[in-house]
Amino acid sequence: MRKFLTFLFIALSVVACNNEYDDSAVWNSINALEQKTQAMESLLNAQKNKLTIRSVKTLANGYIITFSDGSTATITNGEDGAAGDTFISSIDIAENYVTFKLTDGNVIIIPLYSALEVEFDEAESVAVLPNQSYSIAYTIKSPIDDVKIEVVSSADIKAKVVANDAKNGVIEFQTGSVVDDYSKLVVFVSNGEKVVMRCFYFERSTLQISDNSLVEAAPEGGNFTLEFLSNVECEAIISDDAKSWLRQVDSRAVESRQMTFHADENKGLKREATITIKDKDTDMAVEYKVVQYRNMVSEIRLEAGNKVMPTAGILVAQYADTPVDCDISKLVDGNSATYYTTESQNYNFVWRGDRAAKVSVCNLVVASQQDLPVKFSLYASNDGEKWKEIYSAEGREQNGEYAISSPTSYVYFKLQIHDVVEQAESPALAEWSLEGVASESNMLSMADVLKKCEGHTFSDKTPMGSHYANRHVTTASDIEWLSNATNEPARLGSAPGYSYRDYSVTLYPFGEPVPADVNQHGIGDCSALAVFAEMVYHNPDFIKSIITDHKDGTFTVNMYDPQGKPVDVRVTSKFLGDNNGIGAASGKNGVATWATVLEKAIMKWNKIYEVYPDIGGIGSEHVAPLFTGNGSSFAFYPGRISTADLKRVVEICLDEGMIVIGGFNRGGISVEGGETVTGHAYSFMYSRNPNALFSMRNPWGWCPGGDGKDDGLLNIVNGEVPGTIDLRIIYPGDLANNSIENLMPYNPPVF
């Protein structure tokens, strides 16, 4: 540095001796040298005083360095970016340091401003138990070695720092008698330039079985998974007697609270194992029992033409722990001397047909010297998941032939054996068979129905359906107006001869709400009334649940707005009519019923939302969601599917609790019970006639050509009529809550 100052003095002396000389170039050179000297001094000063670099700003011909004390240094390259006269040959900016390489080969290394980090081996939420000791390991990352770490805790926890070295150690703590939302630790770390804080919150350790402690391993061997609820790290302990055939294969799944095990094939007798899932740090544990039966036949296929089941298909036994020559095949071999038996006193068989079938008889034959089980149940399903009980019997007889009364065809049938009496041996069944008629339809489930449907109204904007998307949003004044009974809806332009008149109301003339309470008069809202009859057919209790009788001549109806949010509509007992009587929907003999109240509620609702201001001609998909909250629907147009498929569609949809509405595109066709009417909506129901496909109810409450006592029912049989029928099928929404599980044919009351 002294050499440079001497050179600077000499250069200044030369310039002073010659006033006529152009000294700008010299001064520029001197200024550049002075800047380089200052930059060098700044770097040396930063290194000496352990400063850090806060930022490095790139210039066109160099850098501006800013240090942690706020000072700066400008380092420039030579002309045209060359290094020619600088004392620095290169600058290397790494993650934590900046390295300045000097032209003489030396280097100056200055740390970047520390972003101070601290890592722990625990997440912010820690699972612990009361009155236990724990530790949390920490690692501090800082280019500055002088760091400090402190810990404070809530009053119920004792904690301290135990350091291994300047940047590593553990936080040791002991929990109190209670672990709750107030239990926590706060850790502070500082390196003189920055402070980092980290909070740890505690929750009580949990380890519990999420489903069932008894697990069955497949007889042929393979993997199975134990699922449990836990917020601690666990290990598996397999009982010693099972380690030869059972082993854990997936320890990585501990994080997702699952452990996977592999069982070898069982070629011998039934065997069992115990697997204990244990918290690694405490005695908390849960225990699973694993059972594996020997590998035997548990299912058998029956081909078309068999004398046991109505169709071809597969029969599966729940258990395969049968003695030799007592497997599932003996249940359907036609020989009452052979039988199926199992160690369990409660078991089932599942039949899956290649086609759906309507079953009329269930036959059971027990083994010789045995009684029938105390109880058996027959369940049916179209998807193998949602089961409906269609028959149940109790008592002990040698053999049984049981008549099944169910209007629906099903793909799956399950025979459940119950034996609640303790006895030496479980019930042994010699034969099981089902008698019935196979469906001609190719449709087996709702998934098959949806493959062929048309005219969807699903909306991703509102559960009410596409026809209610982007409609008026309810305001506070709307709610107030709708809940005030004195606010009457407008009169209908489609029925100008009617005015609002007082009528007495009998909500349920037959004691319970029934389709016979729904009868259309002078308002052209057949689709609405068909929906009413369909809803009450599926779920009479639903009708009662959405209407409140205030006993003052007013009624509140629970409805939904266009966005699918609940809204209450209160109406009076003033309904549309004239001097000839009531023009609104009514029960028999013009008596105002729950249907009359719902119809007026729709009219008042539309006064605000104006989706269908005049309900004359309103669509069924517009009506159902006002009460159920679900307007998704689909359609089948006339003649698009076969008669067999049409029957199957109606069966499946009724069985799923859906609202099925339809009509005819040709009128005047004679049908058992009357004749068809065009431009008119009907409700669909199961028929009392075993030869009919289904019944369709006219909301008039009577049919042209009928005797008026059938409540408008048409029994649809095969022929020309099915090809004229269209369908609109609407999802049930709230209607599905506690709906009739095993829907039967509609039997009109006497009136």
Task: Write out pLDDT tens, residues 353-397.
Answer: 999 999 999 998 887 666 556 678 999 999 999 999 999 887 655
- Residue-level pLDDT at 656: 94
pLDDT digits (tens, 9 = 90+) for 331-351: 999 898 898 888 777 889 999
The residues, any chain, with a CB within 8 Å of residue 547's CB and separated by 6 or more, are 507, 555, 556, 557, 558, 594, 597, 598
Token pair, residue 14, equals 């030369």
What CA–CA distance (Å, rounded) separates 336 from 531? 51
In the block, tokens 């008592």 appear at 395
Question: 207-292, what's its fold?
Answer: Immunoglobulin-like (2.60.40)
- Residue 740 pLDDT class (50, 70, 90 cuts): very high
- Residues 625 and 581: their CA atoms lie apart, in Å, by 30
pLDDT grade for 15, boundaries at 50, 70 and 90? very low
- Whether the pLDDT of residue 35 is over 80: the answer is no
Q: How confident is the model at residue 170 (pLDDT cuts 50, 70, 90)?
A: very high
pLDDT of residue 422: 53
Q: 673: alpha, beta or left, given left = phi > 0 and alpha = psi -120 to 50?
A: left
In terms of Cα–Cα distance, which of 602, 641, 627 is closest to 723? 641
CA distance 609 to 295: 65
Q: If DSSP codes are grouped into helix, strand and coil, which group holds residue 352? A: strand
Q: Of the given ranges (256-270, 587-601, 678-692), which has the lowest mean pLDDT?
A: 256-270
Per-residue pLDDT at 2? 39
pLDDT above 90 for 616: yes
pLDDT (0 to 100) of residue 97: 83
Share of the chain above pLDDT 90, in %: 53
Query: Residue 360, exposed/middle/buried by CB under 10 A (0-12, 13-18, 19+)?
Result: middle
- What does the pLDDT read at residue 416? 92
Does residue 308 register a pLDDT over 80? Answer: yes
Quote the CA–CA distance of 474 and 483 in Å, as a whole number: 13
Mean pLDDT of 526-539: 98
* pLDDT band per the 50, 70, 90 thresholds, residue 123: confident
Q: Which two tokens stand for residue 371?
A: 């009684």
Q: What is the pLDDT of residue 43?
A: 85
Task: Return the pLDDT at 194.
Answer: 79
Place of tokens 């009334």: 529
Whole-number Å distance between alpha carbons of 40 and 59: 18
- Residue 421 is predicted with a pLDDT of 54
More confident residue, 1 or 157: 157
Other CB atoms within 10 A of residue 13 CB: 9
Domains 117-204 and 299-439 share a fold: no
CA distance 467 to 325: 62
Mean pLDDT score, 291-320: 87
Ranges of each domain in the chain? 30-111, 117-204, 207-292, 299-439, 470-623
Q: What is the mean pLDDT of the chain?
A: 86
Query: Can you tell me the mean pLDDT for 694-710?
Result: 92
pLDDT of residue 483: 97
Report the alpha-carbon distance of residue 367 to residue 371 in Å, rounded. 8
> How many angstroms separate the most distant Cα atoms in the chain?
139
**pLDDT band at residue 143, thresholds of 50, 70 and 90?**
low
More confident residue, 584 or 264: 584
Q: Which of 93-97, 307-311, 676-680, 730-734 has the lowest mean pLDDT?
A: 93-97
Tell me which of 70-79, 555-564, 661-670 is least confident. 70-79
Per-residue pLDDT at 728 exceeds 80: yes
Does the pLDDT at position 203 exceed 70? yes
- 598 vs 26, which has greater pLDDT? 598
Say which CATH superfamily domain 117-204 falls into.
Immunoglobulins (2.60.40.10)
Q: When comparing pLDDT for 626 and 105, which is higher?
A: 626
Which pLDDT belongs to residue 9?
A: 40
What DSSP string describes 675-731?
A: E--BS--EEEE--SSTTSSEEEE-TTSS-TTS-S-STTEEEE-SSSSGGGEEEEEE-
Give this prediction's pTM: 0.62
Q: Rounded to whole angstroms, how far apart are CA atoms 551 and 572?
A: 11
Cβ–Cβ < 8 Å for 668, 501: no
273 against 420, higher pLDDT: 273
pLDDT at 3 over 50: no
Residue 734 makes CB contacts below 8 A (sequence gap 6+) with 542, 627, 628, 629, 630
Strand 184-190 with 195-204, pairing: antiparallel
Asked if the 299-439 domain carries CATH number 3.40.50.300, the reply is no
Whether pLDDT at 160 is above 90: yes
pLDDT recorded at residue 618: 96
**DSSP character for 736?**
G
Which residues make beta-bridge pairs with 584?
none
How confident is the model over 719-743, as a mean pLDDT? 95
